[in-house]
Amino acid sequence: MFQPLVKPSQYLWLLLMSVFLSALGFSTSIAAKTLHHVLPPAQPVSAPVVQKPLTPDEELVNVRAELQKQASRLAQLEQANQQELTSNQALQLENDNLKVQVKVLQGERSAQLFLYGALTAALGALSGYMFSTHLHRKTRRW
C-alpha cells in the first residue's frame, strides 16, 4: 500500500517556507538544501514484476483455499456471536432482576416514609393533647 513520505500539512509548510525564503532574498539553492533535508531523495522506480498467469487448476486451488479460510473464519464468528448472545441474555436477566429490586426498594422506602409521617403526626397530636390538658389544669387552679 502506498504511504506518502510527507504529511499533507507539511506540504503547506514547505511551500510557505520556500516563498518566505525567496522573499527574503535567499537563493533557491539554500531553499533546495533545506527542502532536501525535509524530503528524502526520490527512489528510482523499478519495473513492475510481471507474474505468469495462473493455470485453471492453480486458480481452483487458490479459490478453494480462500473458501476454506472464509469457512473457518465464519465458524469462529458464529461461535463468538453465540457466546455474545448468551452473555447478552445473562446480562438482560441480571438487568431485569436489578430493576425489580429497585422497584421493591423504592416501595419499601415510600412505606417507611409513610410510617415515619404517621408516627410524627401521632406524636404531634399526643403532645398537643397533653400540652392543652396541662394548660387547662393550670388555668383551673387559679
Mean pLDDT in consecutive groups of 10 residues from the start of the chain, 142 residues: 59 66 58 52 65 83 92 94 96 96 93 94 94 78 54
Residue 68, classed as helix, strand or coil, is helix
pLDDT at 39: 52
Tell whether pTM > 0.85. Answer: no
The per-residue pLDDT for 31 is: 47
Q: What is the DSSP string of 36-56?
A: HHHSPPPPPPPPPPPPPPPPH
The three cell numbers of residue 37 are 533535508
What pLDDT shows up at residue 53? 80
Containing 5, the helix (H) or strand (E) segment is none
